[in-house]
Amino acid sequence: MSKLEATIKSEIQRLSKREIRSTFLPLRREVKGLRLRLSTLSKGITSLNRMTKELRLEEKAKPKLEATPEEVRVSRLTPDRIRGLRKKLDISMRELGILTGTSLSAVLSWEKGKFKPRGEKKAVLVALRKLGKREVRKLLAEKAESKVKAKRKKPGVKRRRKQPGRRVIRRKR
């Protein structure tokens, strides 16, 4: 009887182990896949966090040309003050025009007193008062860089190669 009991017991153990293995193996595979997925997601999150941190640092490092409406309203920009601002920042009229988004002739007429800067241009001039030479140089470099990028994106005119015995007529621009 004890032999029969031991046989039944061992058979039950064998079948239960087999049943457990059949349900446990797919779960183990699924857990392994989920761990792998979690690992890749956490790596992605850390890289995104690093990128946002770098962008925030760049944002803080960038000088901004912003002035409150109150500062703009109160400010008095005379031709002498505009010229003095330009001399203080050690920039040319052309560079001041680039920073304000105007032409050289507009800056010249501001400095001669023919016209006064208004609206957005006045706000930029007020904001320039707060900046130093280094920040202004950074802004000028960024503007020049963005101009170069914009020029690269424009499609150029394709020119034909000159073939022997064929005249190429170019249009005047």
Number of residues that make up the chain: 173
Thinking of the domain 69-149, which architecture would CATH place it in? Answer: Orthogonal Bundle (1.10)
C-alpha torsion 142→147→152→157, nearest 10: -170
Q: Is the pTM of the predicted complex or chain greater than 0.85?
A: no
| Section 23-38 average pLDDT | 91
* Least confident piece of the model among 12-26, 33-47, 131-145, 157-171: 157-171
- For residues 78 and 113, what is the distance between their CA atoms, to the nearest angstrom? 7
pLDDT grade for 156, boundaries at 50, 70 and 90: low
